[in-house]
Amino acid sequence: MTHDALLARAREVWLEMAGVPMAFPADGGVAVAASGRSQLCPPGWVGIVALGDAAIVTVPTERWVGIVRTALLGLPIEVLTDSERLGALLPVVEVLGPASLAYLDRGDFRPAGLATVEVVPGEDPDLAEFLAAVTVDDADESGLVDITSGAFVARRGDHVVAAAGYRHWPGSVAHMCVLTKLEQRGRGLARAVASAAVADSLEARLLPQWRARPESSRRVARALGFRQLGAQLSIRLEP
């Protein structure tokens, strides 16, 4: 799949999640629309997704459309997901992100067989034990509790020390979820379990998506062949 085709498919996913008819501007720039059903952000927030040279933005009500469009007009695409820059232009009171958005097709995939990986059900008690042993922030950031695939795990002895899986999203997307215990990081385990999850999603003809904030997570994605195509940011504005 070419870069343009991968970008087009990624954009289709987020347009479906916008919950309202809209499009990424063909000549670049930003499109803003009111959507009470947007999945780009939490309810009542502003959701911003920039992919390639264009972005879409959903706002909670019509009264915000003109305000947000005026504030964002003419900004470079990379600034649209810069929370500090936006805070100088809009009454931002809370922020989620930004997170990079990376995608992969079968031709780009670079499998990693650095460790023995097994597949267990998403509700497996060993996986539950693993998630209970890490910090709440790490567990939440990984999203592993919400996977709809099996869990691809690596062990040390009888204990799971790294796991990956994916959640089915609209548009036949496999949203990747990966986590390694803190003391086991730097050994290639995240790459190994994520590689198994990506291979499974490709076999199911899904589009693997890697959304990440930490640079360490982005490095794993790049090692597997993911291409960063854009970023996502959610902001809550003062009423």
Tell whether 194 and 157 lie within a shared domain.
yes
Closest CA to 197 of 147, 141, 125: 147
Instruction: Look at residue 114 in the predicted model and tell me its pLDDT.
Output: 65
Tell whether 153 and 223 lie within a shared domain.
yes
Instruction: Look at residue 35 in the predicted model and tell me its pLDDT.
Output: 96
Tell whether 92 and 41 lie within a shared domain.
yes
Parent domain of 204: 118-228
Tell whether 135 and 48 lie within a shared domain.
no
Q: What is the pLDDT of residues 114-164, one digit of tens each?
A: 668 898 887 889 899 989 988 888 888 888 888 999 999 999 888 999 999
Tell whether 73 and 169 lie within a shared domain.
no
How much of the chain, in percent, has pLDDT values that exceed 70? 98
Tell whether 97 and 122 lie within a shared domain.
no
More confident residue, 35 or 144: 35
Residue 1 confidence (pLDDT) above 70: no
Tell whether 16 and 94 lie within a shared domain.
yes
Tell whether 96 and 126 lie within a shared domain.
no
Tell whether 44 and 10 lie within a shared domain.
yes
Distance CA 79, CA 86 (A): 8
Q: Give the bridge partners for 69, in sequence order.
A: none
Instruction: Look at residue 193 in the predicted model and tell me its pLDDT.
Output: 94
Q: Output the CA angle 203-24-168, nearest 5 degrees.
A: 25
Instruction: Look at residue 239 in the predicted model and tell me its pLDDT.
Output: 81
Tell whether 13 and 55 lie within a shared domain.
yes
Tell me how far CA of residue 201 lies from CA of 22, 67, 196, in angstroms: 28, 40, 9
67 in any annotated domain: yes
Instruction: Look at residue 41 in the predicted model and tell me its pLDDT.
Output: 95
110 in any annotated domain: no
Q: What is the pLDDT of residues 196-205, one digit of tens each?
A: 999 999 999 9
Structure confidence at residue 2 as a pLDDT band (50, 70, 90): low
Averaged pLDDT for residues 61-88 = 94
Contacts of 104 (CB under 8 A, 6+ apart): 198, 208, 210, 224, 225, 226, 227
Distance CA 44, CA 27 (A): 29
Laid out side by side, the sheet with 29-34 consists of 29-34, 54-59, 46-51, 227-237, 92-103, 207-212, 173-180, 159-169, 151-156, 118-120
Tell whether 206 and 179 lie within a shared domain.
yes
Q: What is the pLDDT of residues 45-61, one digit of tens each?
A: 999 999 999 999 999 99
Tell whether 125 and 46 lie within a shared domain.
no
Total structural domains within the chain = 2
Rounded to two decimals, the pTM is 0.90
Q: Is 26 within 8 Å of 17 (Cβ atoms)?
A: no
Q: Is 145 left (phi over 0), alpha (psi -120 to 50) or beta?
A: alpha
Q: What is the pLDDT of residues 160-198, one digit of tens each?
A: 999 999 999 988 999 999 999 888 888 889 999 999 999
108 in any annotated domain: no
N- to C-terminal Cα separation, the chain: 44
Q: What is the pLDDT of residues 5-18, one digit of tens each?
A: 999 999 999 999 99
